[in-house]
Amino acid sequence: MAEKLLEIKNLKQHFNVGKANEVRAVDDISFDIYRGETLGLVGESGCGKSTTGRSIIRLYDATSGDVFFEGENVHGKKSKKDLKKFNRRMQMIFQDPYASLNPRMKVMDIVAEGIDIHGLAKNQAERKKMVFDLLETVGLNKEHANRYPHEFSGGQRQRLGIARALAVDPEFIIADEPISALDVSIQAQVVNLLKELQEEKGLTYLFIAHDLSMVKYISDRIGVMYFGKLVELAPADELYRNPMHPYTQSLLSAIPLPDPDYERNRVRKSYDPASHNYTEGEDVRMREITPGHFVQCSEREFESLKTAAAHI
Amino acid sequence: MEKILQVKDLELSFNTFAGEVKAIRGVNFDLYKGETLAIVGESGSGKSVTTKSIMRLLPEHSAEFKNGEILFGGRDLTKLSDKEMQKIRGKEIAMIFQDPMTSLNPTMPIGRQLTEPLLKHQKISKAEAKKVAIDLLRLVGMPKPELRMKQYPHQFSGGQRQRIVIAISLACNPQILIADEPTTALDVTIQAQILELMKDLQKKIDTSIIFITHDLGVVANVADRVAVMYGGKIVEIGTVDEIFYNPQHPYTWGLLSSMPSLDAADEKLYAIPGTPPDLLSPPKGDAFALRSEYALQIDMEQNPPFFKVSETHYAATWLLHPDAPRVEPPATVIERMKKFPGSRYYEGSRV
Ligand SMILES: Nc1ncnc2c1ncn2[C@@H]1O[C@H](COP(=O)(O)OP(=O)(O)OP(=O)(O)O)[C@@H](O)[C@H]1O
Ligand SMILES: Nc1ncnc2c1ncn2[C@@H]1O[C@H](COP(=O)(O)OP(=O)(O)OP(=O)(O)O)[C@@H](O)[C@H]1O
Ligand SMILES: [Mg+2]
Ligand SMILES: [Mg+2]
pLDDT digits (tens, 9 = 90+) for A28-82: 999 999 999 999 999 988 899 999 999 998 888 889 999 999 988 888 767 788 8
pLDDT for the residue A97: 63
Q: Rounded CA gap, A277 and A106, in Å?
A: 56
| Whether residue A261 has pLDDT greater than 80 | yes
Q: For residues B131 and A310, which has the higher predicted lDDT (pLDDT)?
A: B131
Q: Residue A179: CB partners within 8 Å, gap ≥ 6?
A: A158, A186, A187, A190, A191, A209, A211, A214
Q: Specify the range with the lowest mean pLDDT, choosing from B153-157, B207-211, B327-331.
A: B153-157
Q: pLDDT tens digits, residue range A82-130?
A: 888 888 899 988 876 666 788 889 999 999 999 999 999 999 999 999 9
Is residue B350 very low, low, confident or very high in pLDDT (cuts 50, 70, 90)? very low
For residues B277-281, give the mean pLDDT: 86
Contacting residues for B281 by C-beta, under 8 A, at least 6 apart = none
User: Measured from the CB, is residue A183 less than 6 Å from ligand 2?
Assistant: yes
Name the residue with higher pLDDT: A140 or B27: B27
Could you tell me if B105 and B115 are in contact, meaning their C-beta atoms sit under 8 angstroms apart? no
How many residues are recorded in chain A?
312
- Bridge-based pairing state of the strands B36-41 and B225-230: parallel
Give the residue with greater pLDDT, B158 vs B210. B210
What is the per-residue pLDDT across B236-273, written as a single tens digit (0 to 9) for each?
999 999 999 999 999 999 999 987 776 666 678 888 88
pLDDT at A219: 95
Strands A4-15 and A64-69: antiparallel
Contact B249, B255 (CB under 8 A): no
Torsion angle defined by CA atoms of residues B77, B80, B82 and B85, in that order, rounded to the nearest 10 degrees: -50
Give yes or no for a contact between B230 and B237, defined as CB atoms under 8 angstroms apart.
no
- Rounded Cα distance, A41 and A176, in Å: 9
**Selected residues 273-302 of chain A with any CB under 8 Å from a CB in chain B:** none
pLDDT for B351 beyond 50? no
Is the CB of residue A112 less than 8 Å from the CB of residue A130?
yes
Confidence check: pLDDT of A2 > 80 = no
Write the pLDDT tens digit of every residue in B289-312: 989 999 999 999 999 999 999 999
> How many angstroms is it from B154 CA to the middle of ligand 1?
9
Ligand 2 pocket, mutate which of B10, B12, B16, B21 (most atoms under 8 A from CB): B21
Please name which of B95, B134, B84, B91 lies closest in space to residue B114, comparing C-alpha atoms: B134
Cα separation of B48 and B61, whole Å?
Answer: 18
In sequence order, what are the residues at sequence separation of 6 or more whose Cβ sits closer than 8 angstroms to the Cβ of residue A32?
A4, A6, A7, A8
Q: Which segment of A50-59, B40-49, B103-112, B192-201 scores lowest on mean pLDDT?
A: B192-201
Q: Quick check: A265 contacting B, CB < 8 Å?
A: no
pLDDT at B338: 92
Dihedral angle over CA of B123, B128, B130, B132, nearest 10: -90
Are residues B43 and A186, on separate chains, in Cβ contact within 8 Å? yes
Alpha-carbon distance of A251 to A232, in angstroms, equals 12
Residues, CB within 5 angstroms of ligand 4 (ion): B 48, 98
Give the CA distances from residue A208 to residues A48, A54, A189, A212, B159, in Å, rounded to whole numbers and listed in that order: 11, 12, 17, 10, 13
Q: Which residues of chain A are within 8 Å of residue B258 when distances are taken between CB atoms?
A: 184-185, 187-188
pLDDT of residue A251 exceeding 60, the answer is yes
The nearest alpha carbon in chain B to A258 belongs to B217
**Res A81: pLDDT:** 82
HEC states along A87-105? HHHEEEECCCCCCCCCCCC
CA of B159 to the centre of ligand 3 (A): 7
> How many angstroms separate the CA atoms of A107 and A227, rounded?
38
Cβ of B160 less than 6 Å from ligand 1: yes
Distance CA B61, CA B293 (A): 40
**Testing the interface with A: which of B144, B259, B340 to mutate, by most A Cβ within 10 A?**
B259
Give percent of chain B above pLDDT 90.
Answer: 59
Per-residue pLDDT at A154 exceeds 80: no
* pLDDT (0 to 100) of residue B111: 93
User: How many whole angstroms from B57 Cα to the centroid of ligand 2?
Assistant: 13
Residues 89-128 of B with CB under 8 A from A: 98-99, 101
Q: Is the pLDDT of residue A157 over 80?
A: yes
Q: Is B187 on the interface with A (CB under 8 A)?
A: yes
pLDDT of the residue at B266: 61
Could you tell which of B39, B40, B45 is best to mutate to test the pocket of ligand 2, judged by most ligand atoms within 8 Å of the CB? B45
Residues B278 and A211: their CA atoms lie apart, in Å, by 30
Model pLDDT for residues B130-175, shown as the tens digit of each residue: 999 999 898 888 888 998 999 999 888 877 888 888 888 888 889 9
The answer, yes or no, to whether any atom of ligand 1 lies below 6 A from the CB of B230, is: no
Q: What is the rounded CA–CA span in Å between residue A225 and residue A11?
A: 13
Distance from CA of A170 to the nearest CA of B (A): 24
**What does pLDDT average to over chain B?**
90
Rounded Cα–Cα distance for residues A190 and A207 (Å):
13
Task: Indicate the residue of A95, A182, A256 with minimum beta-carbon distance to B221.
Answer: A256
Q: Is A254 on the interface with B (CB under 8 A)?
A: yes
Give the pLDDT confidence score for residue A150 in this predicted structure: 76
pLDDT for B265: 61
- Return the pLDDT at B156: 87
Q: Which of A185, A240, A270 sits opposite B255 (nearest CB)?
A: A185
Lowest mean pLDDT: which of A170-179, B71-80, B189-198? B189-198
The secondary structure of residue B213, as a DSSP letter, is: -
Q: State the sign of the Cα–Cα–Cα–Cα dihedral B19, B23, B27, B29.
A: negative
Torsion from C-alpha of B215, A187, B102, A112, nearest 10 degrees: 170
CB of residue A49 inside a 6 A radius of ligand 1? yes
For B243: left if phi > 0, alpha if psi spans -120 to 50, otherwise beta; the answer is alpha
Alpha carbon nearest to ligand 2 atom 30, residue: B44
Whether residue A177 and residue B101 make contact (CB cut-off 8 A), yes or no, is no
Distance CA B159, CA A212 (A): 16
- Total beta-carbon pairs less than 8 A apart between chain A and chain B: 153
Question: From the list A21, A181, A262, which residue is nearest B147 (CB)?
Answer: A21
Separation CA B123–CA B129 (nearest Å)? 10
pLDDT at B13: 95
The mean-pLDDT minimum among A95-99, A226-230, B115-119 falls in: A95-99
Phi, psi of A256 (to 5 degrees): -75, 135
User: In the structure, what pLDDT confidence band is assigned to residue A310 with cuts at 50, 70 and 90?
Assistant: confident
Q: Which of A43, A250, A258 sits opposite B259 (nearest CB)?
A: A258
**Exposure string (b/e) for A119-142, b if CB count within 10 Å is 16 or more?**
ebbeeeeebeebbbebbebbbbee
Question: Do B271 and A177 make contact, defined as CB atoms within 8 angstroms?
Answer: no
Of B341, B301, B336, B338, the closest CA to residue B318 belongs to B301
Please tell me the predicted confidence (pLDDT) of residue B120. Answer: 84
**Residues of B with Cβ-Cβ distance to A42 under 8 angstroms:** 187
Determine if the pTM surpasses 0.90.
Answer: no
- B43 and chain A in contact, CB less than 8 A: yes
Residue with CA closest to ligand 1 atom 18: A48
Q: For residues B233 and B25, is the Cβ–Cβ distance under 8 A? A: yes
Q: Does B334 score more than 90 pLDDT?
A: yes
CB B208 within 8 A of CB B33: yes
Instruction: List chain B residues with CB under 8 Å of A179.
Output: none
Positive or negative CA dihedral for B277, B279, B283, B287? positive
Pocket of ligand 2 contains residue B43 by CB under 6 Å: yes
CB atoms < 10 A from the CB of B48, how many? 22
**Strands of the B36-41 sheet, one edge to the other:** B93-96, B176-180, B208-212, B36-41, B225-230, B233-239, B313-315, B307-310
Which region, left, alpha or beta, applies to residue B169 given φ > 0 means left and ψ of -120 to 50 means alpha?
alpha
The partner residue sitting opposite B214, judged by closest CB among A182, A254, A271, is A182
What count of residues does chain B have? Answer: 351
What's the order of all strands across the beta sheet hosting A172-176? A90-93, A172-176, A204-208, A38-43, A221-226, A229-235, A293-297, A285-290
Quote the distance between the C-alpha of residue A32 and its chain's center.
13
pLDDT surpasses 50 at B98: yes
Q: What is the predicted pLDDT for the residue at B349?
A: 59
Pairing of strands A204-208, A38-43: parallel
For every residue of A28-52, DSSP letters joined together read EEEEEEETT-EEEEEESTTSSHHHH
How confident is the model at residue B24, as a pLDDT?
96
> Does the beta carbon of A15 lie inside 6 Å of ligand 1?
yes
Q: How far does CA A308 lie from the centroid of its chain?
A: 30
pLDDT of residue B25: 96
Q: Residues 55-94, chain A: which have Cβ within 8 Å of B?
A: none
Question: Which DSSP string corresponds to B155-170?
Answer: GS-HHHHHHHHHHHHH
Residue nearest to atom 8 of ligand 2 (CA): B49
CA-nearest residue to B271 within chain A is A185
